[in-house]
Amino acid sequence: MTTPTPTTPELTAVDDTLRTVLSSGSRPGRQDALSTSLTFAWRALLKIKHVPEQLFDVTAFPLMLTLMFTYLFGGALAGSTQEYLQFFLPGILVQTVAMITMYTGLALNTDISKGVFDRFRSLPIWRPSALVGALLGDVVRYTLAATMVIVLGVVLGFRPGAGVGGVLLAVLLLLVFSFSLAWAWAAVGLIVRTPNAVMGVSMMVLFPLTFASNIFVDPETMPGWLQAFVNVNPISHLVTAARGLMHGTVTTAQVGWVLLACAVLVVVFAPLTMRLYRRKS
């Protein structure tokens, strides 16, 4: 039994019906850069919901570092853990958040290896929104890590001289710096081939930057050649500004050096990351 072939009038009627249905609703407009970036930021947070183990680096890791260094070095370096904590906590806060910025490049490299970003590039959206959204989503992770360190510090006896306002300003400055630094790891994530390579390169850079700084001790106790490096280290400038904001001794120059470092990071690595992103096959 054969199916009768529709005649020309029937085909015309079907075409007219389809045109009517398709033209009855307005087509969605092109989304702006902010909305698409926020959508990708929300995607980054949803990944945490489905894989909560990702929160380990912003919960257990900050608590472990704060407790370990406070009670290991506090008595030896300052005579008491309470006295050392007032000097040390702003520094460990910076180190904790700076260390987890590398996960931006790690997550990006993982998405690329799975082919997810190839789909994003085919969408009619603002090109950088996938990258910017991922970085904005990571800011929430940085905020959570900073909150964990500060709450634990207060429980242990940390008392900021500038009060809550100074602490909030220090965290805000730290988030701006971390967002800027994450662009560098995004570029690394686009260059190297595997997530393990991203972590290896990041740790190779972050370890000397964080440990050869003024986080743990006053640079005046260091040899001259090491002081020279510590004094130009952007992590040292960030720690100095964070301490000043928390204890009410900050100067405009201290904050200015940090903002200058942020501007240099964004100006250098944001265009480089976008160029690599466009050329990524």
> Each residue of 31-90: pLDDT tens digit?
677 788 888 888 877 777 766 666 677 778 788 888 888 888 887 777 788 888 999 999
Q: Determine if the pTM surpasses 0.85.
A: no
Look at the block and give the residue holding tokens 């902010």: 34
Region at 240 (left for phi over 0; alpha for psi -120 to 50; beta for the rest): alpha
State residue 170's pLDDT score. Answer: 96
Using an 8 Å Cβ cutoff, are 188 and 105 in contact? yes
**Contact criterion met (CB below 8 Å) for 75 and 81:** yes
pLDDT per residue over 9-46, tens digit each?
A: 665 666 666 666 556 556 555 667 778 888 888 887 77
DSSP labels for 130-199? HHHHHHHHHHHHHHHHHHHHHHHHHHHT---TTHHHHHHHHHHHHHHHHHHHHHHHHHHHHHSSSHHHHH
What is the reported pLDDT for 19? Answer: 67
Q: What is the pLDDT of residues 98-134, one digit of tens each?
A: 988 998 888 888 888 877 777 777 777 777 788 888 8
